[in-house]
Structures are given as structure tokens and as C-alpha cells.
Structure 1
């Protein structure tokens, strides 16, 4: 998937369209008594509102990413895996959180902070890189500035943080499986594959960069 050129609009539109379908389902489940079809408890209204708010933020950010910021091509295999991941975030988290009849408290404040912080880290890192790459003087050069000076895959770190925040908002232990799975995918699949591509493309420049920069978590790993 790395190194592909072209717009691949069919795949991009498919991803955004799947998000729209997931959003409609989540709204129905949270606010139109969709839980009754599954014979599940009604849960807490304020938590449901936050859950849907998180989904809306994801939709805006990810649609902007897929339709504008993402410059490389997108394969159909990636389209399917990304859509399935969104299904877990939108539908999985919403259903797990909607059945919890727990009033909002300080833990939910932490959840909101983590979700927003992770969202900002991910999107800001991508925006700064996009602006840098638009300069013709930087064509063919490796970007190591902005937030990427703190971790090679700081954008992935942002994803991990907001997903943890979303999982915490559900107040459901089963939600913990999703961020754990995401971290495993990043560490054992996405990062190694991306690093191989970057080494091939940038050579010594990337090798020097990765020697002095953490992989995923700033100052730690």
C-alpha cells in the first residue's frame, strides 16, 4: 500500500460511504431505541451523546484525511480493512458504551481529554507534513520535523491515544480489546512494513532518523 501513486477515488469514496452508513446505524442504535431490537439496556443519555459526538469527530477527521491529506494510492484490500476498523470504532464502541447506565464522572473527563489529544496529535502531524511537502524545495526529501521529531510514527501514536480515550468512555472492559489489537497491528505489521518502505525510498537519511528517534511513543518506545 505504501508507494502507490494515483488518486484511487473509488476506494476513497467507498471508505467515506461506509463511515456514513456506520454513523446512521449508530444514531439509530443510540437515539431511536435500536437497543430494544437487540434486547439491550437503554444506558445513559449523556454518555450516548458523547459517544455519538466522538463518532462525528472521527468522521470529519478521517474524511478529511482520506479525501485530502492522503496522497498515496489506496488498494481495495486496504479499503476493506480500514472500513472494518471504522466499524469497530463507530459501532463497536457505541454499542458497548450505550448499555452502560453510569452517569458521567471524572473518568469520562479523562476519556474526552485523551480522545481530543490523540485526535489533535494525529491530524496536526499530518497537516504539518502536508504543508512541508508542498514546498518544491522539499521534493524527494524525508520529513522529520513538526511532531515527527518526537516519534517516527507519531501519527500512529495519536491514533492509539484517541482510541484509548474512546474505549474508556464506554466504561466497558470489553472495549479494551480494541486498543490492544490496534497497538499489536501497529507494532508488528504497520510500522515494520512502513519502515521497510521508508528505508528503500530515503536510504541513509531514514536510517539516521530512526537511530535517534523513538518508533511510536515519544521518549519511551
Structure 2
């Protein structure tokens, strides 16, 4: 097995960072034109796809071809589906309430404030989380059972995320359910099947990378994604917004907060 090509990997980092900057710059330009900064959510998934594509191209002569292809395809399927889903959900052209609340108290220029509070932090997170894919692209070891386990975990997460989003979209389209709580389907087993699925996807990608040294060193990349989803901006903000809805307290008491589990009997 060939050693990890550290010089070539380090040389690729400015190019993948440039991919993040270009995606965010284009997104910012669109947001300013539309006066709607929630388009950043649409660009989140495709931003990872751009990083994976640049890293795949630059690692062509160094990494294991099967692992490179797996990481590119799995990242692309996840990122593009997420971008299309959020874009379709926001097709009415209105600003997301979360961004409205944040921009309502923005000192000075709203665009400059959003650039500092949204685009810059999300760009840093995007680059750091994607390191698990970037390192995997240059890893030289063969693909084995741990990578297979990672693919299976990725598939589980992707199903939870995609099906959970679909069930929620159907629920919101039904006028008779307005103001109620979705507690059927995957939402019966976890209050956040989409966030859990997202976390499982990135842990799966990490396992694909971690099978070959130094992929294991990127453990903090999926850890940051899981922490963000479960403890920072995903689950906590959603539950805060839902807390006043009738029946939500009972839903919290009976349903797992993140990891899918059979509901408690009331």
C-alpha cells in the first residue's frame, strides 16, 4: 500500500477552499438580488458537492479509485437531493422566519451583518466537515468491510432524511392538519428523522474514509455535523419553534429526541 500523499493533499486544500468561497459568493449575490438570504440553505448541500468534485479531480493520480468514486457519488446524491428539496420548499420566494428574526435586529447593513453571521461561519463549517471526504479522496488503502458498513449507514441515513422530508411535506400540504403535530411514519420513532438521517449520512462517509489511514483523523468532521444538528442549530431551534403547538409536549414525552426508537406508551 502506498503512503498517504501528504504534499499533494495539502496542495489541494486552497482549491477546495476556493470552491467553498465561490459557492458562497454566488449564493450571496443571488441572495442580495432577491433580498432573501435563506437561499444559503439551498446552497448548503450543493456546496459539499462542489468540494467533493474538486477534491475528486485533484486526487485522480493518488487515491484509491473505488473509494474516490464512492465518496463523490454518495456526497453528490445527498447534497443535490437536499438542495432540490429546500429549493422546492422555498419556491414561494419569501424569507425564512429564522432569517427574518435575525435580520430584524441587525446593526448597520443587513447584507454585511448576514455575511459575517451566516455565510462566513457556514463556509468554515462546510470546509471543516468536508475534510472527511477530502482526506478520503487521497487515501490509498483498499475498500473493505468498514467502508461497506459506512455505505449501509449512509443509505439508512439517506432514507430517513429523504422519507422524513417527504412525509413532512405531505403533512404540511393537508389543511386539516394545520397547527397539529406530525407523529406518524418515521416521525413516530424520532422527532427529527431528517436531522438523524443527515447525521447518519456523514458518519457513514466518515467510515468510508476511516478505513484507510489517515482517515480516522477526520473524526471531528462528522462530530461537528452531529453536534450542530442535535445540539446547536437543528433540533434545539426546531423544538423551540414547535414548543407552543398543541400536543407537542405529549409528543416530546413519548417520542425519541434524535435516535429512532419505539415510542413510549402513554
With over 3 angstroms needed to count, the CA separation of the structure-2 counterparts of 1:176 and 1:220, relative to structure 1, is: farther
Residue in structure 2 matching 1:45, options 39, 61, 65? 65
Q: CA deviation at 1:28?
A: 3.3
With over 3 angstroms needed to count, the CA separation of the structure-2 counterparts of 1:79 and 1:145, relative to structure 1, is: farther
Is the contact between residue 139 and residue 209 of structure 2 (CA under 8 Å) also seen in structure 1?
yes
- TM-score, with length taken from structure 1: 0.78
With over 3 angstroms needed to count, the CA separation of the structure-2 counterparts of 1:78 and 1:150, relative to structure 1, is: farther
Bigger radius of gyration among the two: 2
Cα deviation per residue 1:109-143 (whole Å; 9 max; x = unaligned)?
11111111101101100101111211111122221
Distance 2:168 2:47 in 1: 30
Structure 2 alignment gaps of length 5 or more = 1-33, 100-113
The answer to whether residue 242 in structure 2 is matched with residue 206 in structure 1 is no
Matched ranges for 1:169-184 at <5 A: 169-171=208-210, 172-184=215-227
The answer to whether residue 131 in structure 2 is matched with residue 87 in structure 1 is no
The answer to whether residue 241 in structure 2 is matched with residue 197 in structure 1 is yes
Residue in structure 2 matching 1:66, options 86, 93, 101? 86
- TM-score, with length taken from structure 2: 0.66
Is the contact between residue 30 and residue 94 of structure 1 (CA under 8 Å) also seen in structure 2?
no
Distance 1:106 1:148 in 2: 31
Q: RMSD between aligned alpha carbons? A: 2.9
How many residues align structurally? 205
Distance 2:47 2:172 in 1: 33
Q: CA deviation at 1:55?
A: 2.0
Bigger relative contact order (CA 8 A; separation at least 6): 1
